[in-house]
């Protein structure tokens, strides 16, 4: 699976939000998108998920214009994880996870198949939510709910995973576990992940490449080392950065605002 994004322009009302976005994400790649609040990260993920329609530009999935896939095919292929979950959905964790299997189910199927049960069981264990399966969504802590919502994307077994701020509510161990799982799943199966994140440290640990978005434009793309050792982070965020090196990784530490 590969994605090619070509010259995407997107407007809310008459305001240009995405301005000529061109990006490629290759097989097995974890691309992280960073950038200030309001830069357009969520909008770009929603365009790739086909939740929003761009005014110009095309997204190609395995060389094919994504508008040419039928909606069911696309729903099976792409999973977009919204950071805002409606926890008032009157559902148990198990049934919420099961809804991710709809694209796999046969049209008249009423009960879950063996494959559905196996997928839910495997992912629930990996995300440390197997003890929560009978709980209702409104009875979970913020971090538990976030793990459930991310897990749901993987229950779908999508080819393309789009994660918007997946780490916001997670403690440090789960931040690492979740992103490690994503990386392993994606790189071992030649799928694609695009992750929008604010935490530069997590990006330095788990991104294969990082794209920096600012005012609706991609201003830098490269390995964490390339991106973080350039001045682009200081320029885009308006903060002074010290770069520290640990285990061969370059980690930007913001030290003061400019």
Ligand X SMILES: Nc1ncnc2c1ncn2[C@@H]1O[C@H](COP(=O)(O)OP(=O)(O)OP(=O)(O)O)[C@@H](O)[C@H]1O
**Residue 162 engages ligand X in binding (rule: CB under 6 A):** no
43 binds, among Mg ion, ligand X, none (CB under 5 to 8 A by kind): ligand X
Out of Mg ion, ligand X, none, what residue 54 binds, judged by CB under 5 to 8 A for its kind, is none
Answer yes or no whether residue 42 interacts with ligand X by CB under 6 A: yes
- Spatial separation of the C-alpha atoms in residues 168 and 56, rounded to whole Å: 32
Could you tell me whether strands 209-214 and 217-222 are parallel, antiparallel, or unpaired per DSSP bridges? antiparallel
54 contacts ligand X (rule: CB under 6 A): no
By the 8 A CB rule, do 56 and 8 touch?
Answer: yes
Query: Cα-flanking dihedrals φ and ψ of residue 9, to 5°?
Result: -120, 130
Instruction: Tell me if 12 contacts ligand X by CB under 6 A.
Output: yes
Alpha carbon distance 98, 94 (integer Å)? 6
Give least dist CB 39 to ligand X, A. Answer: 4
Cβ proximity to Mg ion: between 42 and 79 the closer is 42
Residue 238 in contact with ligand X, rule: CB under 6 A: no
Residue 257 engages ligand X in binding (rule: CB under 6 A): no
b/e code 56-85 from CB counts within 10 Å (16+ = b)? ebebebeeeebeebeeeebbbbbbbbbbeb
User: What x/- string results for residues 23 through 52 when contact with Mg ion is judged by CB under 5 A?
Assistant: ------------------xx----------
- Residues in the interface with ligand X (CB under 6 A) total 10
Q: Does 167 bind ligand X (CB under 6 A)?
A: no
Which helix (H) or strand (E) segment is 100 a member of?
A: none
Choose the stretch contacting ligand X; rule: CB under 6 A; options: 40-48, 57-65, 105-113, 139-147: 40-48
Minimum distance from CB of 36 to ligand X (Å)? 7
End-to-end, the C-alpha distance of the chain in Å comes to 41
Return d(Cα 34, Cα 31) in angstroms, integer.
10
CA–CA gap between residue 105 and residue 92 (Å, rounded): 20
Question: Which residues make Cβ contacts (< 8 Å) with residue 38, sequence separation at least 6?
Answer: none
Interacting residue with ligand X among 37, 88, 107, 188 (CB under 6 A): 37
Part of the chain binding ligand X (CB under 6 A), chosen from 33-41, 47-55, 118-126, 232-240: 33-41
Nearer CB in complex with Mg ion: 117/219: 219
Name which position in 3, 5, 8, 17 contacts ligand X (CB under 6 A).
17
Query: CA 162, CA 108: separation in Å to the nearest integer?
Result: 29
Q: Is 166 in the site for ligand X (CB under 6 A)?
A: no
The residue ranges that bind Mg ion (CB under 5 A) are 41-42
- Which residues are at the interface with ligand X (CB under 6 A)? 12, 17, 35, 37-43
């Amino acid at each position: 699976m590969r994605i090619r994004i070509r010259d995407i322009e997107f407007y809310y009302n008459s305001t240009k939000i995405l301005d000529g976005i061109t990006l490629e994400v290759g097989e097995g790649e974890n691309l992280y998108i960073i950038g200030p609040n309001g830069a357009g990260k969520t909008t770009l993920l929603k365009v790739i998920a086909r939740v929003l329609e761009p005014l110009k530009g095309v997204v190609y999935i395995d060389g094919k214009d994504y508008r040419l896939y039928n909606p069911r095919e696309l729903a099976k292929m792409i999973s977009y994880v919204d950071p805002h979950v409606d926890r008032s959905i009157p559902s148990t964790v198990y049934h919420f996870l099961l809804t991710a299997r709809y694209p796999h189910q046969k049209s008249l199927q009423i009960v879950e198949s063996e494959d559905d049960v196996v997928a839910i069981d495997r992912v629930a264990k990996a995300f440390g939510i197997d003890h929560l399966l009978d709980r209702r969504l409104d009875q979970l802590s913020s971090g538990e709910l976030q793990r459930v919502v991310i897990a749901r994307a993987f229950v779908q077994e999508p080819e393309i995973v789009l994660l918007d701020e997946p780490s916001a509510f997670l403690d440090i161990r789960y931040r690492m576990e979740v992103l490690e799982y994503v990386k392993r799943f994606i790189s071992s199966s030649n799928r694609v992940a695009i992750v929008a994140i604010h935490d530069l440290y997590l990006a330095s640990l788990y991104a294969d490449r990082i794209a920096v978005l600012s005012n609706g434009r991609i201003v830098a793309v490269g390995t964490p080392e390339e991106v973080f050792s350039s001045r682009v982070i200081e320029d885009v965020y308006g903060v002074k950065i010290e770069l520290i090196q640990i285990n061969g990784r370059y980690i930007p530490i913001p030290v003061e605002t400019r």
